[in-house]
A and B are shown apart, each in its own frame.
Chain A
C-alpha cells in the first residue's frame, strides 16, 4: 500500500512537470479575455433582466400568497375555535339551567302533590269519621228500638203462653215488670 502510494506521488510529480512544461495555464492566455468578458456581461445582463423582471416577483408573489393563505386559515381556525368554545359554554349553561329547572319543578310538584294528598286524606278521614259516628248512632238507635220492640214482643209472647197454659189472663203490668227484669239481666249481652 505504502509503495503504491509513493509510486503515485512520483507519478504525479512527473506528470505535472511534463504538463507544466508543455502548456501552462490557458487561463492566463489573453487571446479570448475580451470575448469572455463581453459574453459574461451580455449573458449575465440578460439573466439578471429576466430573473429580476419576471421570475423573482412571481416566486415572491407565490410565497406571499401561501403565507397569506396560511395566516388566513390560521385566523379562521382560531375564530372557529373561539366560536365553538362560546357555543360550548352556552350549551353548558343551558344544560345547567335545565338541570336546575328540573330540580325545581321536581321539588315543587312533589310539594304540591304532598299537600294535595294530605288535604284529601284529611277530608276523607273527616268524612269517614262522620259516617262512622252517624252509623254508630243509627246502630244504637236501632238497638234501643229493637230492645223495646223485643220487650213488647216478649211480653206478648209471655202473656200468650201463660194464657194458653193456664187459661187465665195475668196482670199485664206484672208481666211487663218480669220481662223488664229478665231483659235487664241479659241486655248487656246485646249492647
Chain B
C-alpha cells in the first residue's frame, strides 16, 4: 500500500541474489543508497581537494569547512590525543550526514533509519573505544566505572549505574539516530498522506506542516550526524584521557 508511512523503510533486493555461505548478502536499495551517499562524499571531496588554491573556490571552501568543523569538534571534546582517530570520525560524520541528507530527497531511501545499520556503527565504536581504553590504560581503564569523590556507601550503587550506562552506550547511540530518522520520515509521510486524503480544500494545512517539517528534518539530519560524531568523540575522550 503506497500510503503506508512505513513502506518507505522496506528493503528490497536489486539485481541477482548473492549468497555467501548460506547468508543472503544481496545488493538492496539500502546498499544502493549507501553507495550513492559514499559516492557523493567521494566526488565532493575529490573536487573539493583537486586544486590547491590559496583562495579557495566554493567546493574547496565547503570541503575545508567540513574539515575544520570536524577537527575543531575533536580537539574541543577529545583533545590532541584523538588526532589519529580524526579520519574515522570525519568519515563517520560525513557518512551519517550524507545518508541523512540523501534520505531527505523524495523517493529516496534513508540508510540511517534502519536500526541494524546504526547499531553496527555504534557497536563498532563501542568495541573500538573499549579496546583503545584497555590498550592505553590497561586494567586502570576499569576505574572509569568508579568515579572519584563518591562516598563509600554509594560506591557500589554508582559503580553499577556507571557500568549500565557504559554498556547502554551503543544502544542509546544507535537508537537515537535510528529513531530520529524513522520518526521524522514517518511524520513527513503521514502529513503527505493527509494532503492527498483531505483534497484541495483541507490539504493546505498539512501541506504547510509538511513544508515546515521538511525544514525541521533537514535540521535534524544535520544535528543527528553531529550528535553521533560528537558522542563518539566524547566516548573516545573517556577512553583516551580517563579523567572521571
Contact = CB atoms under 8 A, between A and B. Distances in A.
Interface of A: 4, 8, 11-12, 15-16, 19, 22-29, 31-41, 43-44, 46-48, 50-52, 54-56, 58-63, 65-66, 69
A12 to B, nearest CB: 7
Nearest to A12: B190
A23 B4 contact: yes
A13 to B, nearest CB: 11
B90 interface: yes
A34 B64 contact: no
Given A8-B206, A65-B54, A25 B24 contact: no
A55 B45 contact: yes
Contacts, number: 149
Contact of A37 (B53, B87, B88, B116): B116
Counting contact residues on chain B (CB < 8 A from A), the size range is: 35 or more
Nearest to B17: A35
A98 to B, nearest CB: 45
B113 interface: yes
B194 interface: yes
Given A31-B11, A36-B28, A15 B190 contact: yes
A63 B9 contact: no
B48 A4 contact: no
B159 interface: no
Interface stretch (B34-42, B147-155, B233-241): B34-42
A26 B114 CA distance: 9
A41 B120 contact: yes
Contacts of A43: 31, 34-35, 38
Contacts of B26: 32, 35
CB-based closest 6 A-B pairs: A52-B87, A39-B31, A58-B49, A55-B45, A26-B10, A43-B34
